[in-house]
């Protein structure tokens, strides 16, 4: 009996302990449920909503680019693409493999996607392919349940309808790299599909062309599929660029120089500085960069010795040769060291101590004045005049006319050329300047370098009455349904040179093209209304030795292409009332 009572007491204690434990556990569960459902209800409701509602940035339409007549140079086209979101699938590789059975995904693209997935945050979409057809999009959507993490999207892609014709001017767009993301805090740059300007006008005016992002709130299911759009706020489109260039003239210039291995040309308005054409060959297709250029094509472009990626019109630096003679002539006239009637006797060579400087005409030109020396391109006249002037006065006039410094044209990639003087040589080489260097500088050789754009600006300043015109390629910026707002300078200071001296230079350049004996008579325009003035130039790229002169200078056509002289021409039209200036450089073209 006593044993039975003891067992009952033991059982009762255990029961009490068990019930107490259960009661304690139940209290904890109830308390936690109260905390979750009452105290933290708002917090978890918000989290659940965020899990169901997704906010995405919308890419704004990039601003378009048009020529002066409204013809398209860079526009946007609707584009369908397929992306993968790593956090929405347990097997990225498997999803890619299944997708490749529906649409063609090359192995190299699959490898690229896997690399990008490892590099980026898992919630960021990675583009697998773009430029999909509607049929391909439909096949992907039908198979959506078997493609976890795979989404199709509709967007815009950049298109360059003029292809190679405008490549150096317009540039191209490309993916944002890490350095660019760090330097620019715009949230758009965090979107993998976003493209920014990488060259030319696309780069220079990227902030204006880019626009601002919009937002899109969508409802998604557990697998990440969009069920419906709840709200959309469109972004602000980028501003359109309206250029000064004439597409028809651009095409004409390209056709004329495309026959040469490497050449460039510029045409501009002598009063406004508007660049009407600017071409450079060889060129490239900017559309190659839209999807991302492959390594082989990129290396071929980069290593090509003819420099297809270089805009030679503003980045190519050449000895201007005889096109520089107008600078020396104007410097002499302005300094009062010569007059229109001053003459020098050209015997075919100028001797200075042991050195002999030759004229291109071995027999010489005889007695020549300023006008005839430019017309027939007499070297001896300018050797003698350069010695009278000295290099510093030549450099001063060259700078006035826009040489030896960047012109300020509103596209990236411009180089400044070089106009030497005594101080420059001392600083650069720690050596004094020699008279022989002045002699060869007088005909645009030696250290003197200029770009085609600078040479066109030089001609514009000579023919517009002496105003410091500055070139520009962008006429204005506009937003949808608004007129373009003009950008750039339109009022230019005077250079302080005498009009009578400019008139003499213009008359001499007229004689170069339109009078017997002129070095460019073969290029005369027969229509008198469009008679042009100009100046030829030949820029040596090799040294002609004394021995070669003795046995006869080798003709350009008998030399390897890379050892032939550069050919240059600068001009203006019409002669009576100059309006347009041009400069053309043909690398190793043989002569101007």
Bin 171: left if φ > 0, else alpha if -120 < ψ < 50, else beta: left
> Which of 485, 549, 80 lies closest to 356 in space, CA to CA?
549
Q: Which residues pair with 539 in a beta bridge?
A: 566
Q: How many CB atoms lie within 10 A of CB 44?
A: 11
**Tokens at 462, concatenated:** 């000579």
Active-site annotation holder among 272, 322, 441, 539: 322
Q: What is the full DSSP assignment across 295-346?
A: HHHHHHHHH-TT-TTS-HHHH--B--GGGGHHHHHHHHHHHTS--TT-EEEE
For 151, how many CA atoms within 13 A lie in the half-sphere containing its CB? 23
Strands annotated E in 178-252: 195-197, 214-220, 226-233, 240-243
Q: What is the full DSSP assignment across 80-100?
A: EEEEEEGGG-S-HHHHHHHHH
Catalytic annotation present for 322:
yes
**Tokens at 338, concatenated:** 């010569």
Scanning the structure block, which residue is given the tokens 């021409």? 569
Q: Which residues pair with 54 in a beta bridge?
A: 218
- What is d(CA 171, CA 287) in angstroms, rounded to the nearest whole number? 10
Scanning the structure block, which residue is given the tokens 């493999």? 97
Strands 240-243 and 65-66 come out as parallel
Return the sign of the alpha-carbon dihedral for residues 497, 501, 506, 509: negative
- What is d(CA 383, CA 366) in angstroms, rounded to the nearest whole number? 14
Q: How many CB atoms lie within 10 A of CB 23?
A: 10
**Tokens at 471, concatenated:** 């070139």
- What is d(CA 345, CA 365) in angstroms, rounded to the nearest whole number? 8
Distances (CA, A) of 504 to 138, 298, 369, 390, 462: 73, 50, 11, 22, 10
- What is d(CA 83, CA 128) in angstroms, rounded to the nearest whole number? 5
Query: Coil, strand or helix: which one is 182?
Result: helix
- What is d(CA 383, CA 444) in angstroms, rounded to the nearest whole number? 11
Distances (CA, A) of 107 to 88, 100, 110, 128, 227: 22, 9, 5, 11, 32
Helix (H) or strand (E) holding 119: helix 107-119
Catalytic residues: 322
């Amino acid at each position: 009996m006593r044993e039975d009572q003891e067992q009952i007491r033991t059982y009762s204690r255990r029961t009490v302990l068990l019930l107490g434990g259960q009661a304690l556990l139940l209290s904890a569960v109830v308390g936690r449920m109260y905390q979750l459902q009452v105290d933290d209800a708002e917090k978890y409701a918000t989290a659940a909503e965020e899990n169901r509602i997704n906010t995405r940035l919308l890419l704004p339409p990039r601003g378009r680019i048009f020529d002066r007549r409204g013809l398209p140079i860079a526009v946007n086209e609707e584009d369908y693409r397929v992306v993968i979101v790593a956090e929405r699938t347990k097997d990225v590789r498997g999803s890619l493999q299944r997708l490749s059975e529906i649409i063609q995904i090359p192995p190299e693209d699959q490898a690229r996607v896997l690399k990008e997935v490892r590099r980026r945050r898992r919630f960021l979409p990675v583009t697998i392919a773009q430029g999909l057809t509607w049929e391909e999009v439909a096949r992907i959507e039908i198979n959506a349940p078997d493609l976890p993490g795979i989404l199709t999207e509709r967007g815009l892609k950049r298109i360059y309808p003029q292809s190679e014709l405008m490549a150096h001017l317009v540039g191209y767009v490309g993916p944002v790299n890490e350095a660019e993301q760090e330097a620019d805090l715009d949230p758009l740059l965090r979107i993998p599909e976003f493209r920014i300007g990488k060259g030319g006008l696309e780069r220079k005016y990227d902030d204006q062309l880019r626009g601002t992002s919009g937002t899109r709130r969508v409802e998604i299911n557990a697998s990440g599929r969009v069920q419906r759009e709840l709200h959309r706020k469109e972004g602000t489109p980028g501003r359109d660029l309206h250029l000064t260039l004439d597409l028809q003239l651009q095409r004409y210039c390209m056709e004329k120089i495309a026959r040469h291995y490497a050449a460039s040309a510029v045409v501009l308005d002598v009063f406004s500085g508007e660049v009407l054409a600017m071409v450079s060959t060889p060129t490239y297709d900017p559309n190659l960069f839209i999807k991302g250029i492959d390594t082989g094509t990129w290396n071929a472009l980069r290593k090509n010795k003819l420099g297809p990626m270089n805009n030679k019109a503003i980045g190519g630096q050449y000895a201007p040769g005889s096109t520089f003679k107008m600078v020396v002539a104007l410097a002499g006239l302005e300094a009062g060291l010569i007059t229109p009637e001053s003459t020098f006797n050209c015997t075919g060579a100028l001797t200075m101590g042991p050195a002999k400087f030759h004229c291109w005409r071995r027999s010489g030109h005889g007695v020549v004045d300023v006008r005839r020396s430019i017309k027939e391109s007499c070297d001896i006249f300018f050797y003698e005049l350069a010695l009278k002037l000295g290099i510093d006065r030549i450099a001063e006039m060259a700078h006035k006319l826009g040489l030896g410094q960047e012109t300020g044209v509103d596209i990236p990639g411009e180089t400044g050329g070089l106009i030497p003087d005594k101080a420059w040589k001392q600083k650069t080489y720690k050596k004094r300047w020699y008279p022989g260097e002045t002699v060869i500088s007088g005909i645009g050789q030696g250290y003197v370098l200029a770009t085609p754009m600078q040479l066109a600006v030089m001609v514009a300043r000579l023919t517009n009455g002496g105003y410091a015109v500055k070139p520009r390629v962008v006429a204005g910026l506009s937003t949808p349904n608004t007129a373009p707002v003009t950008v750039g300078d339109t009022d230019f200071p005077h250079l302080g040179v005498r009009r009578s001296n400019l008139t003499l230079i213009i008359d001499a350049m007229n004689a170069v093209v339109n009078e017997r004996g002129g070095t460019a008579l073969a290029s005369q325009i027969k229509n008198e209304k469009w008679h042009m003035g100009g100046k030829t130039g030949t820029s040596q790229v090799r040294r002609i030795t004394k021995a070669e002169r003795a046995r006869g200078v080798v003709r350009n056509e008998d030399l390897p292409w890379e050892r032939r002289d550069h050919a240059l021409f600068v001009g203006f039209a019409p002669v009576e009332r100059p309006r347009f200036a041009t400069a053309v450089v043909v690398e190793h073209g043989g002569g101007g």
